[in-house]
Chain A
């Protein structure tokens, strides 16, 4: 399998693990110092905090990814992936709750494993501002 195929597999696995709420699994795909939304996340707790997680009870969603554009430069890979999230609403209907372009930088470690060094999700729609005095509720963000 080529490096580009390996990276594509990592991108797909992370999206699936996020949709399934297998949080430890996708967080493990990040390096110990990953830049997310332009901020440095040191360790898995920071990754979790920066990406924000909805609880399984309030989020039944699946993340679909378009074909990623992947460029390999030695031990570094850059990937651009369009993605959308379909969520189940309380009434039993389906809604597209997120469309993002993911700009990723991954690095290959000594064991040949690709992990995220940087992830910049750009939503097609800016996230709605929370009502005054209430924290933002994050759902449908891509890991």
Chain B
């Protein structure tokens, strides 16, 4: 294989990694909004994932699961809308910055922006080849939200 062919193959791998990470970031919030927490916790976290927000820090999958179980399931009542993430892949690690806007249904039956912020994510490629979130630092302006929001 020539150097050029190796470069092309490496570029293709990076493109695939970025696409998988975009999918992870997008799918995670869609599942969250539908209260399908077991699915995103199982598919996208590691045992040691750390979630940090202005409300505090959760260490590990079980702590995250316990915290999220306190959030009442009122059905689909809000969405996390994401900007295009800036993703940097370095070997089996990655860094992603993603802007987010939270929109919820109000008691008056209208839509309201309840917050916006940025996900600062660290990810790793697991042994099975899938990408997992290891650290999420969430900055947010606006209403208080659950730590795992």
Residue of A whose beta carbon sits closest to that of B27: A69
Task: Enumerate chain B residues within 8 angstroms of A98, measured Cβ to Cβ.
Answer: 111
B-contacting 9-mer, from A17-25, A60-68, A130-138:
A60-68
- Which label, helix, strand, loop or mixed, suits the secondary structure of the A interface? strand
Contact with A along B21-62 (1 / 0, CB 8 A): 011011101100100000000000000000000000000000
Size of B's binding interface in residues, CB under 8 A = 26
- Expressed in whole angstroms, the Cα–Cα distance for A70 and B25 within the complex equals 12
Query: Total A-B pairs in contact (CB under 8 Å)?
Result: 58
14 contacts between A and B (CB under 8 A): A4-B19, A66-B81, A67-B84, A69-B30, A84-B79, A84-B103, A95-B111, A96-B111, A96-B113, A97-B111, A98-B111, A124-B79, A124-B111, A125-B105
Complex contacts, A2 vs chain B, CB 8 Å:
15, 19
Given contacts A83-B81, A99-B103, 18 further A-B contacts (CB under 8 A): A2-B19, A5-B19, A66-B29, A66-B79, A66-B81, A67-B26, A69-B30, A82-B30, A82-B33, A82-B79, A82-B80, A84-B111, A99-B79, A101-B30, A101-B79, A124-B77, A124-B78, A125-B111
* Shortest Cβ distance from B33 into A: residue: A82
A residues contacting the other copy or chain, number (CB 8 A): 21
Flag B126-145 by CB within 8 Å of A: 1 or 0 each.
00000000000000000000
With an 8 A cutoff between CB atoms, is B72 at the interface?
no
CB contact between A64 and one of B19, B29, B81, B111 (< 8 Å): that residue: B81
